[in-house]
Amino acid sequence: MKSKLLKPVLSALFLALAFVMPFLTGQIPEIGSMLCPMHIPVLLCGFVCGWPWGLAVGFIAPLFRSLTLGMPPLFPAAVCMAFELAAYGAVSGLMHKLLPKKKPCIYCSLLVAMIIGRLVWGTAMFVCMGINGGAFTFAAFIAGAFTNAIPGIIVQIVVIPVLVMVLESPKIKKIID
């Protein structure tokens, strides 16, 4: 029987990873932020703990990091990232729950979450920049959501499905149960 504390404890672990991982990638100035280090624990949280936990961790992580460390800057970056990461966590968890537990479906869930999260980020940036009296162009959206994030997108597509498969393997499930 699974403990009622398992999902909150794992979610706290994923939140801690989202807080710490930018320190690790920040040591590589050329591509550190392009690796999107906060995305990985949030997406994993959705897969492992379910959509409500993924949504919560995704929304809290950038705001918590901004308020405690000043990075990312609160407005508009952390606010827009909060909505983006909340979408990642929610969609990855919901898709993983609804689709069969097969390897191709993990990739499908991940890709849908990544696309929806980026669309949510673009919408949030458009709104926030409009509030500030600025403009958020389609070119800025493509650059921020895709072009500048290519290293992170590649890492996510390679690493997350493997980690999900490992975490859902019978040996790991036996330890958790």
Q: Each residue of 96-134: pLDDT tens digit?
A: 999 998 999 999 999 999 999 999 999 999 999 999 889
Q: Does 37 map to a domain?
A: yes
pLDDT in tens, 129-173: 999 889 999 999 999 999 999 999 999 999 999 999 999 988 887
Q: Does 43 map to a domain?
A: yes
* pLDDT > 80? residue 16: yes
Predicted pLDDT at 176: 65
142: left (phi over 0), alpha (psi -120 to 50) or beta: alpha
Going by C-beta distance under 8 Å and a sequence separation of 6 or more, which residues neighbour residue 17?
40, 41
Q: Does 137 map to a domain?
A: yes
Enclosing domain of residue 141: 6-176
The domain spanning residue 76 has which CATH number?
A: 1.10.1760.20
Answer yes or no: are the C-beta atoms of 61 and 28 closer than 8 Å: no
